[in-house]
A = this chain, B = another copy of it.
């Protein structure tokens, strides 16, 4: 049976890119169907009625939602290099870190990047704390997964790629090699590895998008 793989996603979304990276690691051909979040398609609403959010993978018509759930599905369904480690203990460790990224790291870093005035110092401290945890985890590793890109590296695409762009747009700089040397070494390696490099959204487009948000936030209501 020929496989039909479609992704309801958005070019510039980290969640959507996680799925694309997983598909590319496996060598799966897919069609990206760009959603307009201002005007969601009936297919998206019907495929993810609970959250009404991208990304949704449609595999032979069957929908799967939630980016990390989709990545695990891709790993379990298609041949090709493993995304999660094979050993159950290492798999648990990978799931632990992916969860940490989504539940602790991303909210704290995102908040600090957009924070202003009195709250900024406190928010920055909280972001530093989670980034320090990542930095420490990376101290003896090339990637989170060891020698090659894996589940946690895919989950970490927001801190690996997007954060630097938002820093440039907002002028709030969180990540420096003085503070987070291991994290910065990982990031350089990561951004230069072929799987990541060849499947990035356009940096200038994203920078423009975030600069637009900065201006919109500053405009009088």
Interface positions of A (Cβ within 8 A of B) = 50, 59, 62, 64-66, 69-70, 72-73, 76-77, 88-89, 91-93, 95-96, 99-100, 133
Contacts and interface: CB of A to CB of B under 8 A. Distances in A.
Question: Which of A59, A72, A88 is packed against the most chain B CB atoms within 10 Å?
Answer: A88
Nearest to A71: B92
Contacts of A96: 64-66, 69
Contacts of A100: 50
A66 B77 CA distance: 25
Contact of A64 (B65, B72, B89, B99): B89
Contacts of A133: 50
Given A73-B91, A73-B92, 12 more contacts: A50-B100, A50-B133, A64-B92, A64-B93, A64-B96, A66-B96, A66-B99, A69-B95, A70-B92, A72-B92, A73-B88, A77-B88
Contacts of A89: 59, 62, 64, 73, 77
A1 to B, nearest CB: 14
11 contacts: A50-B100, A62-B89, A66-B95, A69-B92, A69-B99, A70-B92, A72-B95, A73-B91, A73-B92, A76-B88, A76-B91
A7 to B, nearest CB: 14
Contacts of A72: 91-92, 95
A218 B105 CA distance: 34
Nearest to A93: B64
Contacts of A99: 66, 69
Contacts of A76: 88, 91
Nearest to A89: B62
A156 to B, nearest CB: 15
Nearest to A130: B50
A84 to B, nearest CB: 11
A50 B65 CA distance: 28
Nearest to A137: B50
